[in-house]
Chain A
Amino acid sequence: MSLENKNHQLLSKIATNDKHGENSPYFDGWKAYESNPFHPTKNPQGVIQMGLAENQLCFDLIEEWIRNNPKASICTPEGVNEFRNIANFQDYHGLPEFRNAVANFMSKVRGGRVRFDPDRIIMSGGATGANELIMFCLADPGDAFLVPSPYYPAFVRDLCWRTGVQLIPVQCHSSNNFKITREALEEAYMKAQEGNINVKGLIITNPSNPLGTTIEKETLKSIVSFINENNIHLVCDEIYSGTVFDTPKYVSVAEVIQEMEECKKDLIHIIYSLSKDMGLPGFRVGLVYSYNNEVVNCGRKMSSFGLVSSQTQHFLAAMLSDNKFVDKFLAESSRRLRERREFFTKGLEKVNITCLPSNAGLFFWMNLRSLLKEKTFEGEMKLWRLIINEVKLNVSPGSAFDCSEPGWYRVCFANMDHETVEIALMRIRAFVNGRDKGKNMEIKRWKSNLRLSFSSRRFDEKVMSPHMMSPHSPMPHSPLVRAT
């Protein structure tokens, strides 16, 4: 059924501006993928999706847990007796057992070095909802938040679109591995003040997206001092805290403020979600954890606009309070992430491609500066289009993350299976080694290998090609359709 929309109805400014972020030039990568998605048997020449920060490595562990715990679901015969209580529960405080389980989980992710108060947990529609919610609580339209670059592209939508808040990037550089320096913070802050912009706070992502690095304790302390001295808020998006797989050990802002007596705790707010650590983006489990009572109070009321489904709360309450499972999951997930990253980066080293040393996240930050024809952002985009169209890999160019230097690309590695990683590596090697002719030979050889190594798997349904995950839709997709 289609309607003739003769007269364009006047919509709001928010509805008609660009801050939803979907009109960006980075669309090309997604279009290329959507129109030609890789599949090991059906479309082996297709584009491999490496722009999606999803964690697909540990579903087997969760599936096993589900099979062994039918009571966690209100749909099973074992669990249906809870159905009516759960279905009826819409209290914005959230199920107590859910909050307890999440507080417990967050503590475990931090090695038990901090405790979290379940009463300070505010639910929201994923971290997307949580980031927007905290902005509504802390800032007025026109106010600004500092954000170290490179940063997650969808921050523009999440933090600014409906809130009217503006972002001021704090430039970080490869010369010191993109560390956030006190100088950079102060420079950005001062510049804002000179421009009469009211800075309400600083938002950091730790571990970092797209860098995959954790912030050093000293740096974190200096950041806390900075916001404290200037009496502005600190929002720490710790969505990747459970994906730390290597040293240095993860330090959360929660730990740091335990050691800093002089810090005004009501300036500190943590954002968290289960979308990355547990690989459950569909369940929309996000939260704000605030040390500020007023924010907790007001944020809780606001959470009405994005509560977590009680069915999901109930399910996760059971799973996350199973300490044995949680311990095993966190350990195994780290191990698999580390293994995957190492395999990939070692493969790249063979063709002299280096990456920023990293110890967390579902991606690494790849350095292709030596391959740029011109060391400019145009050069970066040119190379990027080449990678998409010829190498058939959808990676994300650094400029999408507002990186200050051209030549960096974010490569996701946890949203595919091992075989696909091998193919991606082969393609990159072929590209670097002089591209073209060698490619066809490589693929033929791979095809015959394919028959041997895949025969034992039920590939068609279980393969981790992201294409299987996203329903094909006539409407144009964007990275923001799935909050990457």
Chain B
Amino acid sequence: MGIEIEQSHPSVELSSIAISETHGENSPYFAGWKAYDEDPYHEITNPSGVIQMGLAENQVSFDLLEKYLEENSEASTWGKGGTSFRENALFQDYHGLKSFRKAMASFMEKIRGNKAKFDYERIVLTAGATAANELLTFILANPGDALLVPTPYYPGFDRDLRWRTGVNIVPIHCDSSNNFQITLEALETAYKNAESMNMKVKAVLITNPSNPLGIAIQRSVLEDILDFVTRKNIHLVSDEIYSGSVFSSHEFISVAEILESRQYKDAERVHIVYSLSKDLGLPGFRVGTIYSYNDKVVTTARRMSSFTLISSQTQHLLASMLSDESFTDNYIKINRERLRKRYDMIIEGLKSAGIECLKGNAGLFCWMNMSPMLENDTREGELKLWNEILNEVKLNISPGCSCHCSEPGWFRVCFANMSEQTLEIALKRIRDFMNNKDRKDIEN
């Protein structure tokens, strides 16, 4: 029951940030969510509802976490042997719980197959990767400056990197001709583009593995990117939030490995963002980190993290969980296997419906190519098809234009935020949709 407040006219002004649209919530990415909220699928109570395939959540491994808690409730609650409630409740030091930072560093190493080392003193904690990315932007760039970001990219970046910081995103255009890989040419073009708009480029920001593509960046490309930022004397931010969701560990190369192999030459321009929201499926806990090779960035980021610290209660729980090596080894392995299984399932299902996807090896989604289905090879054509899929097929998937993809017809489809049964139903709906389309085409 709300309390009605009469709003005066004209009301006093808010800030420019408050009235701008840069929060990005009016994009189609979010419009689909509305349709879902109004008519959400439920296998029993609403079997014809909209199936949510626009949410990159990892729900396939909760049982492993629950099992850990059931077997270790003393370690994770406040009790004898562990830290006391009082100590934990008072702990607001922006350095973060040491045991938690150590556990995170170790977890990040394990995910990378121990091919890179992380110093827990370089870990800065933030409430989610959302905060980490914004915070880094505040530190690396001034209002009006530019970050170069390869397309297609996570729609939330428009808000996270630009909204309150006043920084611009200049796209590094990638296309299907080479599986959307980032090329030196594209980097140079983007850089010149920014310059021509009188923007100072301060950093390149990549997501590796990529969202929405679902692929890990190749070593040679990473080397090229590192050389590029060194030449231009700018920063590199590598958002590795999906690093634990790579289906097979040897396929992921972190920028950390490359820096180690270069004896950390020029490393102080590199910063890694990580979070437990995807790999561990804990988005509610708001656990993000910045790992920086730059001392000044670490110090400043730490100070800034005051605005967005992680609840000490949560740090305590996760410190105990992530420092349990038998748990983490097992979790990482099984989580990977389950994600791969899901991925194979959706790829097969789409293939049998006549739909091709980009060959992926990571993430909680696949990048689906529906360009042959477009009436018009344009953004409008894509949105028309998207609307059809939303309203007739009752699937909320994300149109490529919301990810700033330069080629129309691609869609991101999430597969880890539902049960296998629901995924089957979604695939059936797609098959039926495609069959009907074929029939219509034939009839026409």
* A residues whose Cβ falls under 8 Å from a Cβ of B: 1, 3, 5, 7-15, 20, 22, 54, 56, 59, 62-63, 66, 73-77, 80, 83-84, 86-90, 115-117, 119-120, 125-126, 128-129, 132, 136-141, 143, 157-158, 161-162, 200, 231-233, 264-267, 275, 279-284, 291-295, 298, 301-302, 304-312, 315, 461-462, 468-471, 473, 475, 480-483
Contact = CB atoms under 8 A, between A and B. Distances in A.
Contacts of B66: 80, 83-84
Given A266-B11, A266-B12, A301 B23 contact: yes
Nearest to B17: A136
A310 B309 CA distance: 14
Contacts of B284: 86-90, 309-311
Contact of A7 (B11, B93, B130, B268): B268
Contact of B5 (A15, A62, A231, A291): A291
B345 interface: no
A137 B15 contact: yes
A362 to B, nearest CB: 13
A161 B308 CA distance: 14
B95 A66 contact: no
Counting chain A CB atoms within 10 Å of each CB, the highest count among B62, B66, B88, B308 belongs to: B308
B327 interface: no
B152 interface: no
B306 A128 contact: yes
Contacts of A87: 62, 65, 281-285
B299 interface: yes
B141 A283 contact: no
Nearest to A54: B90
B18 A307 contact: no
A293 B119 CA distance: 45
Contacts of B119: 1
A140 B16 contact: yes
B25 interface: yes
Given A84-B66, A136-B164, A311-B314, A483 B306 contact: yes
B342 interface: no
B114 interface: no
B293 A3 contact: yes
Interface residues of B, number: 95
A226 to B, nearest CB: 14
Contacts of B73: 75-77, 80
A266 B306 contact: no
Interface string B294-327: 1111011011101111111110010000000000
Contacts of B404: none
Interface stretch (B131-139, B354-362, B380-388, B422-430): B131-139
5 contacts: A5-B268, A15-B297, A84-B62, A87-B284, A136-B15
Contact of A295 (B14, B160, B300): B14
A14 B139 contact: yes
Contact of A307 (B127, B134, B139, B143): B127
Contact of A9 (B18, B269, B277): B269
A115 B309 contact: no
A116 B23 CA distance: 27
B165 to A, nearest CB: 8
Given A9-B294, A129-B307, A281-B89, A475 B69 contact: no
A273 to B, nearest CB: 11
Contact of B128 (A76, A138, A139, A307): A307
B84 interface: yes
B268 A307 contact: no
A66 B78 contact: yes
A11 B139 contact: yes
B406 interface: no
B112 to A, nearest CB: 15
Contacts of A120: 2-3
Nearest to A162: B138
Contacts of B16: 140
Contacts of A13: 142
A309 B296 contact: no
Contact of A12 (B141, B267, B285): B141
B196 interface: no
B224 to A, nearest CB: 20
Contacts of A84: 59, 62, 65-66
B376 interface: no
